[in-house]
Amino acid sequence: MRNQIDRSAGRSRSIAALAMGAVALGTMAVGALAIGRLAVGRARIRRMEIGDLLVQRLRVIDKGRPPPSSPSAANSHGIVNLASPYPFPETVSRLQSAFVDHGIKIFATVDQQAEALAAGLEMPPTTLIIFGNPKSGTPVMLAQPLSALDLPLKVLVSEPIAGRVSVSFNATAYLIDRYALPQELASALAPAEQLIAGALQV
């Protein structure tokens, strides 16, 4: 009888130990699941924070960009593109008159469409005006002789699509950066941008 009691007691203790082990394992599993959920939650919050930060930075960048119609709104190649509200011939004429009225010399006006036709080729209306003021441009070339590659200044009038006239030219900031010119020489180049933009005003 005593042996049976001892065996029963031993079995009870084993069952109790197994039960306690199962509870412990269950507790560990629940803990691991909670930790996993916490890590996932933190990762999601981190991704949201990073996303918000990127959006904020993009907004700051966008605020610093000038509108497309601004003379200083140069693209990645340093070219300013302005839409003209006038027909192609009038746009060319207005630019030429603006230069002459401000004492700026027109060195050449190249009708590239006419030259293409003379060669038996077709081309949309395209005219290049080469202009400048030796009094302003000479100091620039003396400071950096290679700047003569872009001087005199040029403005391109084109109509790639009928009714859409575009005026394009190198940005002053691009020229200064390209030739490492002193900032004080910007005053010799910058007025051209404003003059071109002014000629396109309605």
- Return the CATH number of the domain spanning residue range 79-199: 3.30.310.70
| Range of weakest confidence among 73-87, 108-122, 168-182 | 73-87
Place of tokens 């000629």: 199
Residue 163 is predicted with a pLDDT of 94
At 167, the amino acid letter reads: V
Q: Is 176 left (phi over 0), alpha (psi -120 to 50) or beta?
A: alpha
The pTM (predicted TM-score) of the whole model is 0.64
The reported pLDDT for the residue numbered 168 is: 98
Beta pairing partners, 165: 84
What are the sequence ranges of the domains in the chain? 1-65, 79-199
At 17 the pLDDT is: 52
Closest listed residue to residue 109, CA positions, set 126, 122, 84: 126
Percent of the chain topping pLDDT 90? 56
Summary mean pLDDT of the chain: 77
**Greater pLDDT, 44 or 120:** 120
Which H or E element spans position 49?
Answer: helix 2-64
CA 112 to chain centre: 30
AA letter at 17: A
Tokens of 55: 């959006």
Report the 3 state secondary structure along 138-188: HHHHHHCHHHHHCCCEEEEEEEEECCEEEEEEECHHHHHHHCCCCHHHHHH
Is there a contact between 191 and 179 (Cβ–Cβ < 8 Å)?
no
Query: Which range has highest mean pLDDT (38-42, 47-51, 154-158)?
Result: 154-158
109: number of CA atoms within 13 Å, CB side?
A: 10
